[in-house]
Structure 1
């Protein structure tokens, strides 16, 4: 019996060795790490990035993964919930690179998070590609390992200011309101000289606290000063509060425009008909003209995203997909997942994504033009772009009781 057992054990041992050898030869997964706001005050926007990252990874893996040195590697994701807490986000990124040993990093949402978290990628020399932070402060520090796919915050209202001059009748007075976080401060700093150059009179330039819920004082000033155009840089929950209180106080300038909210389906659903007439901006619309390797075009992506997650993507989601695509393009160009070589490839990369052309400048940021959009009844209309008006704007905005 023992003589029969020994050969069987030998065969089993050889089989295990062969299996181990095959496993050792198999290409390892390339792990992308991120800390994203999945709970807390800005989780409604944070989910765009989680969903976009997941969808991009699934699509790329289905197409064979990342091709490096003749081998195909699958992508894997490791995502933590930072609970909308900047300090927790920094700790989680530190854990991702120092303990979890992820290969490369994807970013969080919001400029104040990207500003803090990019210090981790710089310290450990692991590139982070992020489409959630646009503040000029992120890219003014001469960091080498942070790359961004949002246009500079300082020019977010650039196309809107151009449109103001072309409106009939042109606004005679402007209010600039902004939250006190990194992104919105950058927006305000960039908008002031644009307004001055355009010859527009700024009668209010007011900073308010992030996550503010009470805009009554600012709205009362807008009403008493009879402001024509109101530009607000803030987060989505702040904008929702602003519009609701504007209605309750019967404050209806000729127009108002917001840096965020208007492109979001949830924002428009939350306000219903009260969202009508609101202007916003976006660097992305789901156009069939935007092609890429994996999704075909932006329209196909938008349909697939809606079918998978139950809500429409906006530019946050599109930029999130572009972040993953940029890392894949860079790895394939570098022929490795080595962080320093991927970083160098990112700095020189140029490719077409469903979000638009991606080519990082010397500071690590791309610059896509903002298109002015407006809620017009049940439609989100593209109103003004680089070549002027696309769709006639609904302007001036009527009084609340005249809608």
Structure 2
């Protein structure tokens, strides 16, 4: 085929105009009775790490149900099918993609995107179309304070994320001087607001406070100012890249800290791979979930709650099946997967209340959530009927100890004692060797090292390299044939 100059120009223009949104489905082929679930996932951009985890969690639970023949509702089996788009971590894409899911793809229910910012952009679309939407990755309290009816929150609200950390600091660090360095975005600010209340309640002194804008990569000004104030505890962050950079630079600038808790970033397994043990050891984070948490049918029975969905072991097995390139699930995958379980149980409840017509009726399924209190592999789930706010799920504080992520607080869930003043975060002397409560040996006293990135990291650079090569070939061909 001859490539004319005009055709080449059109091709280049099309490619430079930006990506065209094509829907992906999981699984690709589904027959019989089908319940269609729609969502966007951040598979590129700022939230790509968390978005990939979330998508894997949803697909794992859908596969678990479908491998059993589907969801049994009144003796009839219904298969689940997911339709999703890459939102590229941009709120500018959200309204059009969720409109497309509702009007063109004809999904029955919606799962919100990852992050409070993107979730807040999706809520008006769901509400205007009377479509139930479950928030798995939007923890901001503002999500459930705008009066929307069709919202159900699955994860603990942001204002409660670091409440346990305040109690831990009160118990373990009597001379704590806290620095708060948070992203100036909806989620992080909601966490900070609740944390400030908790710190005040515990009588803990805050000596430095700063908010940084999204996209910030240089934190040296904040770190140096906090050091000058004598801060020995760092609480902050926002999402993955900024949280990782904040931790690395704090270590590179030799900030001696007795306790560090950062949002989101340390929860990702690649945090340890990319920063190395000499930085990661001792870094804590609030977590919605751990694979070591005591959530199982026995604990459900003791709590007087019905068990629903796969066990933790089953979830881990199915996660590995659908996403073999990821080492292990982070809490973002668990909360997203539990969203499917929660939705399925509400659909069953709606059927019991109203019959077959309620199975895909957003209003009736939303009402069914009001009386639902269950235990899942993600933990207990229950909402406030008036707002859709999650009130049944507890938060955990986890910490890197050596190469392991362990629960350190609250005490009733703890696997290990908190590592306070980790030796690799104490500067001014020669390096020492210390053994953590988890039993790992840690080399300390030097600057942080950087390891290789995790297998699950999205290879954006490779994709763009291929695109550029194709563009060069097209332009060269157009020029060649134009000269002939």
TM-score, normalised on structure 1? 0.88
Aligned residue number for residue 82 of structure 1: 87
Pick from 146, 165, 168: which aligns with 1:163? 168
Give yes or no for the alignment of 1:259 onto 2:263.
yes
- Name the SS of the counterpart of 1:332 in structure 2: helix
Shift of 1:308: 4.2
Aligned residue number for residue 109 of structure 1: 114
Greater alpha carbon shift after TM alignment, 77-86 vs 265-274: 265-274
Aligned residue number for residue 314 of structure 1: 330
- Name the SS of the counterpart of 1:213 in structure 2: coil
Shift of 1:381: 2.0
- Name the SS of the counterpart of 2:265 in structure 1: coil
Pick from 391, 395, 409: which aligns with 1:384? 409
Pick from 396, 407, 427: which aligns with 1:371? 396
Conserved 8 A contact 2:54-2:336: yes
Pick from 337, 349, 355: which aligns with 2:372? 349
Conserved 8 A contact 1:105-1:129: yes
Conserved 8 A contact 1:90-1:120: yes
1:257-290 CA-to-partner distances (Å, cap 9, x unmatched) read: 1121222211121111110111112121114643
Shift of 1:69: 4.6
- Name the SS of the counterpart of 1:74 in structure 2: strand
Structure-2 change in CA distance of 1:133 and 1:253 (3 Å):
same
Conserved 8 A contact 1:228-1:255: yes
Aligned residue number for residue 393 of structure 1: 418
Match runs of 1:262-281 below 5 Å:
262-273=266-277, 274-281=279-286
Task: Give the whole-Å Cα distance in 2 for the aligned partners of 1:48 and 1:290.
Answer: 22
Task: Give the whole-Å Cα distance in 1 for the aligned partners of 2:150 and 2:162.
Answer: 27
Conserved 8 A contact 2:244-2:266: no
Greater alpha carbon shift after TM alignment, 393-402 vs 104-113: 393-402
Task: Give the whole-Å Cα distance in 1 for the aligned partners of 2:59 and 2:365.
Answer: 21
Task: Give the whole-Å Cα distance in 2 for the aligned partners of 1:187 and 1:171.
Answer: 23
Conserved 8 A contact 1:262-1:281: no
Task: Give the whole-Å Cα distance in 1 for the aligned partners of 2:215 and 2:286.
Answer: 21
Give yes or no for the alignment of 1:209 onto 2:213.
yes
Structure-2 change in CA distance of 1:63 and 1:199 (3 Å):
same
Conserved 8 A contact 2:156-2:390: yes
RMSD in angstroms over aligned alpha carbons?
Answer: 1.8
Give yes or no for the alignment of 1:152 onto 2:157.
yes
Structure-2 change in CA distance of 1:288 and 1:194 (3 Å):
closer
For structure 1, list consecutive stretches of 5 or more residues without a partner in the other structure.
1-25
Structure-2 change in CA distance of 1:354 and 1:268 (3 Å):
same
Aligned residue number for residue 146 of structure 2: 141
Aligned residue number for residue 124 of structure 1: 129
1:190-231 CA-to-partner distances (Å, cap 9, x unmatched) read: 111111111111111211111210100001012211201110
Give yes or no for the alignment of 1:222 onto 2:226.
yes
Structure-2 change in CA distance of 1:306 and 1:75 (3 Å):
closer
TM-score, normalised on structure 2? 0.74
Conserved 8 A contact 1:171-1:229: no
Conserved 8 A contact 2:57-2:334: yes
Conserved 8 A contact 1:369-1:386: no
Aligned residue number for residue 302 of structure 1: 316
User: How many residues align structurally?
Assistant: 376
Shift of 1:388: 8.6
- Name the SS of the counterpart of 1:84 in structure 2: coil
Give yes or no for the alignment of 1:328 onto 2:355.
no
Shift of 1:293: 4.2
Shift of 1:171: 3.3
